[in-house]
Amino acid sequence: MFNEIGRKIIHLLILLVLVVYAAIEAQAGKQIALLFLVGLLAFFLFLEYLRLELGWKMPFFSLFIRPKEHNRMYGVIFFLSAAIICLAVFDTAIALAALLMTTFGDMAAAIFGKKYGSTLIFKNKTIVGFSAGLITNVLVAIIIAFTTSLNIYIPLIMALTAAVIETLADELDDNLLVPVFAGLVGQILILL
């Protein structure tokens, strides 16, 4: 449980990146802000090269790498990739909702699912984890709807999409799948 909480704290730290992105965008524009994210992604890809290709052990982050990530890329690569895609392609409210659902929904699903879940619904995913993730995503949806001009039904449908994708993702990385699919659904709903 300690490692899971540590991984989720790293997820929260990634939110600081979104705050820095917003500050850069406000000062220098969207393209410069996206370049900042791409630069950050390149930095983490370099670290992953050192870790995966050259066998370098990262002193702090190695404590929080899941067993299935020992021989493949760490989730931060997928989250940064998803953030770049979402912020470049989707409306800001949709991108923000998708990324926040990924962060907080995943956190709630993992912590509550591991601590209280026993009834499996898909592979290693539990009903408790799915429910916790869905409830958290709905809370994010409500906050996004009330702080933006987004119709409440759009982030609510995104919340359900995010929870389902989170539950069905096992081998593929949910840090990429959840925001891309939830954001895509939200953007399509806006266009309809």
DSSP codes, 62-100: GGG--GGGTTS--HHHHHHHHHHHHHHHS-HHHHHHHHH
- The pLDDT assigned to 128 comes to 97
Strands 120-122 and 125-126: antiparallel
What pairs with residue 125 in β-bridges? Answer: 122
Closest CA to 103 of 136, 74, 70: 136
Instruction: List the structure tokens of 50.
Output: 């050192």
Q: What percent of the chain has pLDDT over 90?
A: 72
Please say whether the beta carbons of 153 and 134 come within 8 A: no
Nearest to 17 by CA among 93, 105, 77: 77
Backbone φ, ψ for residue 103 (5° rounding): -70, -55
Helices (H), the chain: 2-28, 30-48, 75-89, 92-100, 106-116, 127-147, 153-168, 174-191
Mean per-residue pLDDT, 2-19: 73
Domain of 116, in residue numbers:
2-191
Specify the pTM. 0.89
pLDDT by residue (tens digit) across 146-187? 999 999 999 999 999 999 999 999 889 999 999 999 999 999
Predicted local confidence at residue 3, as pLDDT: 59
The number of folded domains in the chain is: 1
